[in-house]
Amino acid sequence: MKIEEAMREVEHILPRKRYEHTLGVVQSAKYLAEKYHGNVEKAELAAMLHDIAKYFNKNDMAAMIKKVPDIPDDLLEYHVSLWHAPVGAAYVKEKYDINDNDILNAIFYHTTGRKGMTLLEKIVFLADYIEPGRRFPGVEEVRRLAEIDLDTAVAKALENTIIFLASRHQQIYPDTISAYNDLINQAGRNLKS
């Protein structure tokens, strides 16, 4: 699928604000892919499609999670805001015949992360966090780290998310903890120094 075609689809599917967020993620993903020697085309396409399922109906998403073997059923026990990522990956695979696992996994894990994230997964995850339209406590620090070291920036974003969720007494999906544990030893040295 070409980026222009993906853009047209997403512009139709998403409300204006979410579409603008998406364009910001594409811009940041392109920047990070160039900076960290990722595949720019794949980064842009994954970013363009990453939130395609954000406003899908909850029951439809639940049905898809149960139906698609690649999506773990335990997601249903966690917050609905996690569902759009794997559902989006399954949707673009089916609807647009995208079979590139790099792209599919970057969409699939863009919300939670996971242990052993690929370069493309990190790029899309971080781009989603730091895109120019994002304004929340801690984003400036992660933007600064994104200029210095990819893993450190991803680890800090995960740390912020975990702290934010725990402070609101919300569950944390195990993949988010695994992603954090995977990166924090090395990143922690950079964050302390």
**Binding-site ranges for Fe ion (CB under 5 A):** 51, 128
Backbone angles phi, psi at 148, to 5 degrees: -105, -50
Query: Which partner from the list Fe ion, ligand DGI, none does 181 bind, CB cut-off 5 to 8 Å by kind?
Result: none
Beta-carbon contacts of residue 49 (< 8 Å; ≥ 6 apart): 6, 10, 88, 92, 98, 103, 107
Residues near ligand DGI (CB under 6 A) are 21, 51, 54, 78-79, 81-82, 85, 110-112, 128, 161, 165, 170-173, 176
Output the six-digit token pair for 99. Answer: 């079979």
CB 146 within 8 A of CB 27: no
- Closest approach of Cβ 193 to ligand DGI, in Å? 27
Judged by CB, which is closer to ligand DGI: 60, or 189? 60
Q: Does residue 37 come out as left (phi exceeding 0), alpha (psi in the -120 to 50 range) or beta?
A: left
Q: Which does 173 bind (CB under 5 to 8 A by kind): Fe ion, ligand DGI, none?
A: ligand DGI
Closer residue to ligand DGI, CB minimum distance, 51 or 151? 51
